[in-house]
Copies of this chain bind each other. A is one copy, B any other.
């Protein structure tokens, strides 16, 4: 028996909502738009979900859990900081690539969460970012990275780049998530400049 690929109706609603939120943004997406995409009446949505925001909560926190899980795997491993960084980047891209639509929503629409969810979400995010910062710091302490680098700038550059990918990365292109992660980490670690021959 292979695992079922049948989505529950609730999951279907959430998937369709993710597409809609990605296209138009959360606030500009109406429950009537969503219902239409599913071929039902707006009122019928509420048999599956409690509210519009519950959908956003599901999308944001599910993605956050995936990112966290991926990073935890990387942290367990031994090796130089540059290697950990590379693996963390590849893991992040792999998680995104599994669902670019949800990733885009996670990234662009989380601010429409109400309290206390928003606060919770931001705590998860800052924790995740800080763990990448720790990897960079580790590389500085071990003299693998320059001591002159600005850790905050480095980690924000990395994050910006990762988070922006859903906007331009085409999963149907030849480049596979591992390859993209490899190239990004190579660029950040080694730079654009040709080493002196």
Contacts and interface: CB of A to CB of B under 8 A. Distances in A.
A160 B167 CA distance: 10
A144 B193 contact: yes
Contacts of A187: 149, 153-154, 157, 188, 191
Closest 7 CB pairs of A and B: A191-B191, A160-B164, A27-B27, A27-B28, A160-B160, A190-B191, A157-B161
A51 B102 CA distance: 32
Contacts of A152: 168
B145 A184 contact: no
Contacts of A27: 25, 27-28
A45 interface: no
Given A164-B164, A194-B145, A25 B111 contact: yes
A82 interface: yes
Contacts of A157: 157, 161, 184, 187-188
A82 B192 CA distance: 9
29 contacts: A25-B27, A25-B111, A25-B112, A27-B28, A28-B112, A82-B193, A139-B192, A143-B194, A145-B194, A146-B192, A146-B193, A149-B192, A152-B168, A156-B164, A156-B168, A157-B157, A157-B161, A157-B187, A157-B188, A159-B164, A160-B160, A160-B161, A160-B164, A160-B165, A161-B161, A163-B164, A187-B191, A189-B192, A189-B193
